[in-house]
Amino acid sequence: LQKRLAASVLKCGKRKVWLDPNEITEIHNANSRQNFRKLIKDGYVIRKPNKIHSRARVNKRLDAKRKGRHTGFGKRRGTREARFPSKIIWMRRMRVLRRLLKKYRESDKIDKHLYHTLYLKVKGNEFKNKRVLMEHIHKEKAEIVRAKQLQKEGEYRRARVAAKRERAAAREAEKQKKLLGESA
Please give the pLDDT value at position 2: 86
Q: Residue 22 gets which letter from DSSP?
A: G
| Interatomic CA distance for residues 42 and 163, integer angstroms | 116
Please give the pLDDT value at position 91: 97
Please give the pLDDT value at position 176: 86
Please give the pLDDT value at position 179: 83
Element holding 45 (H helix, E strand): strand 45-47
Helix (H, G, I), strand (E, B) or coil at 184: coil
Please give the pLDDT value at position 177: 85
| Interatomic CA distance for residues 18 and 2, integer angstroms | 11
Please give the pLDDT value at position 78: 96
Burial grade of 175 (CB within 10 A; 0-12, 13-18, 19 or more): exposed
> Which residues of the chain have a pLDDT value below 70?
183-184
Element holding 108 (H helix, E strand): none
Point out which residues pair with 45 in neighbouring strands.
19
* pLDDT tens track for 129-158: 999 999 999 999 999 999 999 999 999 999
Element holding 14 (H helix, E strand): none
Please give the pLDDT value at position 184: 56
Query: What b/e readout covers 39-60, taking b as 16+ CB neighbours within 10 angstroms?
Result: bbeeebbebeeeeeeeeeeeee
Please measure the distance between the N-terminal and C-terminal CA atoms of the chain and give it in whole angstroms. Answer: 148
Q: What is the DSSP string of 124-141?
A: TT--SSHHHHHHHHHHHH
With a threshold of 0.85, does the pTM exceed it?
A: no
